[in-house]
């Protein structure tokens, strides 16, 4: 009997404990909701860093790049199981690798071709090589030493036996905005650099064109940098005062390598050619100025730098009527957003 009584007492005590725990966690959730409400809403807390989704503008896996030096391949397409000259997605091929490379079934490789050496459009000096991505293959099995059976799993352009390849590198289509390394440039001049080449060696560029610059990480150019495409107005009277630069459009850097970078033209009022000038936009300064203008006292530079799109989103949500944004910020505010990883 006493044993049954002790059991009942334990059960009651356990129920009281669990009830108190439930009330405790409910309180924690309420406090969390209050804290979230005070800082701008649940979506801000859930999303974290926000980026620009460029997947609708271009295929980031087919960007290609500008290389200041010749690129050494790992191997080449040795043979195929079709009788066609050009190969495409779904075809079975054989890949021969140069000795010394560690490869195995399941590895992905990018099939590419290199241009001849190009000249700089402004200086005429040696520029480098445009590396064009043709497609992607996955290794299936080793049939002989350094010879693998493979399948083409992605095709951006026609491929053929003899085309070269190197390891595939994934690039996220979600690009978080960033500022260039200003200290690597003269502050008084800002950051200006030319478009020196374009994907598929196109001479005329416009909206959604993929373009290359001969400046990269060593020069402070980073993925997520935002540039204005500018041009100097032409005049028939050289002695007259020079007019200010005119904006043609905007460009977002998608990838940065040590000496080169790749960008996508977000918008362009008219077409342009190699040699067009890019001028870096100081997103931190632009956002800080607009926040101060709309009464956001002493905005933290760290908040703007870490997540500029989140700050912009919050400004638009909390300002009534909607804020009158500079053209660059207005463009960014209308673009598709994504959560960076």
321 shares a domain with 273: yes
Q: Measuring CA to CA, how many Å separate 37 from each of 51, 297, 299, 313?
A: 23, 19, 19, 15
Give this prediction's pTM. 0.83
Partners of 167 in the β-ladder: 109
pLDDT tens track for 107-165: 999 999 999 999 999 999 999 999 999 999 999 999 999 999 999 999 999 999 999 99
Q: Would you say residue 39 has pLDDT above 60?
A: no
Domains identified in the chain, total number: 2
Which of 155, 138, 126, 193 has its CA nearest to residue 59? 155
For residues 224 and 199, state if they share a domain: yes
- Of the listed ranges 3-12, 28-37, 46-55, 187-196, the least confidently predicted one is 28-37
H or E element in which residue 279 lies: strand 277-280
Q: What are the DSSP calls for 123-187, one per residue?
A: T-SEEEEEEEEEEEEEEEEEEETTEEEEEEEEESS-B-TT-EEEE-----SEE------GGGS-T
Q: Is the dihedral of CA 225, 110, 341, 329 positive or negative?
A: positive
Same domain, 244 and 328: yes
Same domain, 132 and 277: no
Residue 254 or residue 24, greater confidence: 254
What are φ and ψ of residue 249, in 5° steps?
Answer: 170, -160
Residue 322 inside a domain? The answer is yes
pLDDT digits (tens, 9 = 90+) for 245-283: 788 999 999 999 999 999 999 999 999 999 999 999 999
* Same domain assignment for residues 161 and 239: no
- CB atoms near residue 196 (< 10 Å): 24
Domain boundary among 167, 196, 215: 167
Handedness of CA 336, 182, 130, 112 (dihedral sign): negative
Give the number of other CB atoms < 10 A from CB of residue 75. Answer: 19
User: What is the pLDDT, as a whole number, of residue 96?
Assistant: 97
DSSP letter (8 states) at residue 68: S
What is each CA distance from 154 to 73, 84, 195, in whole angstroms? 19, 17, 28
Question: Which region among 13-22, 74-83, 186-195 has the lowest average model confidence (pLDDT)?
Answer: 13-22
Q: What's the pLDDT score for residue 295?
A: 80
Distance between CA 317 and CA 323 in Å, rounded?
9
Instruction: In whole angstroms, give the CA distance from residue 254 to residue 210.
Output: 9
Between residues 35 and 286, the one the model is more confident about: 286
Q: Are residues 182 and 157 in the same domain?
A: no
Number of residues that this document lists for the chain: 341
SS3 222: coil
Do 105 and 221 reside in the same domain of the chain?
Answer: no
DSSP 322: -
What are the CA-CA distances from residue 263 to residues 10, 165, 203, 251 (Å)?
A: 68, 23, 16, 6
Q: Which domain holds residue 69?
A: 64-167
| Both tokens assigned to 102 | 């560690």
What is the average pLDDT score of the chain?
Answer: 84
Structure tokens at 272: 């342009």
Strand partners, 131: 65, 114
- Listed residues 149, 167, 185: the one ending a domain: 167
Is residue 3 one of the residues assigned to a domain?
no
Residue 171 near residue 254, CB atoms below 8 Å: yes
How many helices and strands (H and E) does the chain possess?
A: 6, 20
Tell me whether residue 29 is in a domain: no
Q: Are residues 96 and 228 in the same domain?
A: no
For 198, the enclosing helix (H) or strand (E) is: strand 197-198
């Amino acid at each position: 009997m006493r044993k049954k009584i002790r059991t009942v007492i334990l059960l009651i005590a356990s129920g009281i404990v669990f009830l108190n725990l439930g009330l405790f966690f409910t309180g924690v959730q309420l406090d969390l909701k209050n804290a979230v409400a005070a800082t701008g809403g649940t979506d801000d807390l859930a999303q974290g860093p926000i980026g620009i989704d460029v997947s609708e503008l271009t295929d980031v896996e087919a960007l290609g790049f500008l290389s200041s030096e010749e690129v050494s391949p790992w191997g080449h397409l040795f043979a195929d199981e079709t009788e066609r000259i050009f190969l495409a997605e779904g075809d079975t091929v054989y890949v021969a690798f140069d000795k010394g490379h560690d490869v195995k079934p399941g590895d992905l490789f990018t099939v590419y071709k290199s241009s001849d050496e190009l000249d700089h459009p402004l200086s005429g000096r040696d520029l480098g090589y445009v590396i064009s991505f043709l497609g992607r293959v996955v290794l299936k099995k080793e049939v002989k030493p350094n010879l693998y059976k493979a399948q083409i799993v992605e095709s951006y352009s026609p491929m053929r036996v003899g085309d070269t390849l190197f390891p595939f590198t994934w690039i996220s289509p979600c690009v978080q905005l960033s500022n260039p390394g200003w200290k690597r440039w003269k502050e008084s001049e800002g950051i200006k650099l030319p478009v020196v080449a374009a994907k598929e060696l196109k001479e005329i560029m416009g909206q959604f064109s993929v373009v290359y610059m001969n400046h990269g990480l060593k020069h402070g150019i980073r993925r997520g940098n935002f540039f204005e495409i500018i041009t100097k107005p032409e005049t028939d009277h050289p002695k007259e005062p020079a007019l200010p630069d005119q904006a043609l459009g905007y460009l977002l850097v998608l990838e940065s390598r040590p000496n080169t970078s790749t960008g996508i033209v977000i918008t362009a009022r008219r077409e342009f050619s190699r040699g067009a000038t890019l001028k870096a936009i100081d997103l931190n300064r632009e956002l800080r100025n607009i926040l101060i203008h709309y009464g956001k006292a002493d905005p933290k530079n760290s908040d703007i730098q870490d997540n500029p799109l989140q700050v912009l989103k919050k400004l638009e949500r909390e300002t009534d009527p909607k804020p009158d944004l500079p053209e660059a910020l207005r463009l960014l505010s209308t673009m598709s957003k994504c959560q960076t990883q």
